[in-house]
Amino acid sequence: MNKYVINGGNRLCGSVDISGAKNAAVAILPATLLAEGPCLIENLPNISDVTRSLKILSEMGATVNVLNKSTVFIDTAHITSPLVPYEHAKHMRASYYFLGALLARYKTANVAMPGGCDLGARPIDRHIRGFEDLGCSVTIEPGGMIHASAEALVGNHIFFDGVSVGATINVMLAASKAEGLTVLENVAKEPHIVDLANFLNSMGADIRGAGTDVIKIHGVSSMHGANYTIIPDQIEAGTFMAIAAATAGDIVIKNIIPKHLESITEKLVKIGATVEEYDDSIRVFRNGPLNKITLKTLPHPGFPTDMQPQMTVLLTVAEGSSMIIEDIWDNRFKYASELRRMGADIRVDGKVAVVDGVPFLTGAPVRATDLRAGAALVIAGLIAKGTTEIEDIYHIERGYENFAEKLQSIGADIKTVYVPDRTIAPAF
């Protein structure tokens, strides 16, 4: 177990390179199962969710050769065990993408119920209904194993009753090799949906409309391997934008797609930051005070829920009273009690938080409750007076590549410290 120790108060200035997108990577890696030849995937982020996805593939029998820290060769020609066991699925939500990928390849899949960040109820009913609409039968066995199978996958017209990133990706994977045309309506439009569709098309799939409300998929009978470069991570970039604004710093954030950051830019400008956009980089700096705002999370292109905790930290030290409405998840303010320990004034009522700005936060021992909450606590530590110690940073390591090192390179006083196992041995 490691923890971060942060001495707050430094203005962070300089430039950082953004890694490949976690949420695209964890969809693209299972998608290599659809290829009948080898794939070369570039710009993979070096994070634990990627390591785990590669381990799942290699335990299935795929050849996985890591060529350098961001490039991997994957050949799924000889899969021997098309199964995702609980010991892997419990750590990451995206393990359920192996369902759609294995269904497409073998018309049968066994994947344990997924874990991941605890953000409230995370049902998978839309995934299951989508698979059923393609002709699959899906059962969840008593031990929590999801079993899906089909005699044949057959294209269909599917209207999702709510927008879901995961269900869109899963059904898109399965439909890529279904017979005939599948039309998916009311789909998610996040950048990683488009990235997965581009990857599948580069392998020979026929998918149109990703990034809009309707995706049309003409199923193909076979796909070939491909070389593909993953898009930059929208949320890692947004987190560094928030860090520049929070620390009154000046950071050039490189290797990004500015279009993916528009909703974040808009809110940061309202809060008081200056944002300059270039072709594949963005500069964020702040000289004046932080202003109160109202923030509501929404599916893309609205403000991303995965940036909500980081923005809340800025508002804890803004002038006046801000309101944050979490419209995606039922329980995404668990980190508020940790911020209160640092002196923040936050009241939470269900999916709404009201934040009254205080003059400053004070360093304290805190615990990362999930991935983005962990990133938010790092930002809080960077601006707090004194020392903040953040435990359970394994959550953060699931989604941020070399977070502490990147922060050090722009002037943060942050260290990763090993914490010995604190299990107390029984007295007798």
Q: Write phi, then psi, for 90 (nearest 5 degrees).
A: -65, -20
CB-nearer residue toward ligand UD1: 111 or 167: 167
Other residues' Cβ atoms within 10 Å of the Cβ of residue 161: 10
**Residue 166 touching ligand UD1 (CB under 6 A):** yes
Q: Which two tokens stand for residue 141?
A: 């066995």
**Residue 101 touching ligand UD1 (CB under 6 A):** no
**Residue 98 touching ligand UD1 (CB under 6 A):** no
**Residue 165 touching ligand UD1 (CB under 6 A):** yes
How are strands ordered across the β-sheet holding 250-254?
A: 13-17, 250-254, 281-285, 274-277
Size of residue set near ligand UD1 by CB under 6 A: 21
CA neighbours closer than 13 Å in the CB half-sphere of residue 176: 34
Candidate residues 167, 284, 307, 361; the one interacting with ligand UD1 per rule CB under 6 A: 167
Minimum Å gap between C-beta 129 and ligand UD1 is: 8
Minimum Å gap between C-beta 379 and ligand UD1 is: 18
Q: Which residues of 387-409 are buried (b: 16+ CB within 10 A; e: fewer)?
A: ebbbbbbebbbbbbbbbbebbee
**Residue 333 touching ligand UD1 (CB under 6 A):** no
Candidate residues 14, 144, 162, 350; the one interacting with ligand UD1 per rule CB under 6 A: 162
CB-nearer residue toward ligand UD1: 36 or 327: 327
Q: What is the 3-state secondary structure (H, E, C) of the chain?
A: CEEEEEECCCCCEEEEECCECHHHHHHHHHHHHHCCCCEEEECCCCCHHHHHHHHHHHHHCCEEEEEECCEEEEECCCCCCCEECHHHHCCCHHHHHHHHHHHHHHCEEEEECCCCCCCCCCCCHHHHHHHHHCCCEEEECCCCEEEEECCCCECCEEECCCCCHHHHHHHHHHHCCCECEEEEECCCCCHHHHHHHHHHHHCCCEEECECECEEEEECCCCCCCCEEECCECHHHHHHHHHHHHHCCCEEEEECCCHHHHHHHHHHHHHHCCEEEECCCEEEEECCCCCECCEEEECCCCCECHHHHHHHHHHHHCCECEEEEECCCCCCCCCCHHHHHHCCCEEEEECCEEEEECCCCCECCEEECCCHHHHHHHHHHHHHCECEEEEECCHHHHCCCCCHHHHHHHCCCEEEEEECCCCCCCCCC
Site for ligand UD1 in 21-60 (CB under 6 A): 23, 26
**Residue 305 touching ligand UD1 (CB under 6 A):** yes
CB-nearer residue toward ligand UD1: 126 or 260: 126
CB-nearer residue toward ligand UD1: 165 or 230: 165
**Residue 328 touching ligand UD1 (CB under 6 A):** yes
CB-nearer residue toward ligand UD1: 125 or 206: 125
Binding part of the chain for ligand UD1, among 119-127, 224-232, 257-265, 270-278 by CB under 6 A, reads: 119-127
**Residue 121 touching ligand UD1 (CB under 6 A):** yes
Q: Give the nearest residue (CB) to ligand UD1.
A: 166
Minimum Å gap between C-beta 190 and ligand UD1 is: 6
- Let me know: does 356 contact 326? Beta carbons within 8 Å: no
**Residue 124 touching ligand UD1 (CB under 6 A):** yes
**Residue 344 touching ligand UD1 (CB under 6 A):** no
Minimum Å gap between C-beta 23 and ligand UD1 is: 4
Binding part of the chain for ligand UD1, among 103-111, 125-133, 253-261, 356-364 by CB under 6 A, reads: 125-133
CB-nearer residue toward ligand UD1: 5 or 352: 352
**Residue 127 touching ligand UD1 (CB under 6 A):** yes
Binding part of the chain for ligand UD1, among 65-73, 83-91, 123-131, 360-368 by CB under 6 A, reads: 123-131
Q: Residue 117 catalytic?
A: yes
**Residue 126 touching ligand UD1 (CB under 6 A):** yes
CB-nearer residue toward ligand UD1: 27 or 318: 27
**Residue 123 touching ligand UD1 (CB under 6 A):** yes
Binding part of the chain for ligand UD1, among 161-169, 178-186, 241-249, 407-415 by CB under 6 A, reads: 161-169
Minimum Å gap between C-beta 173 and ligand UD1 is: 13
Candidate residues 329, 333, 335, 403; the one interacting with ligand UD1 per rule CB under 6 A: 329
Measured CA distances, 102 to 78, 140, 177, 205 (Å): 13, 16, 11, 16
Q: Which residues bind ligand UD1 (CB under 6 A)?
A: 23, 26, 93-94, 121-127, 162, 164-167, 188, 305-306, 328-329
Residues labelled catalytic: 117
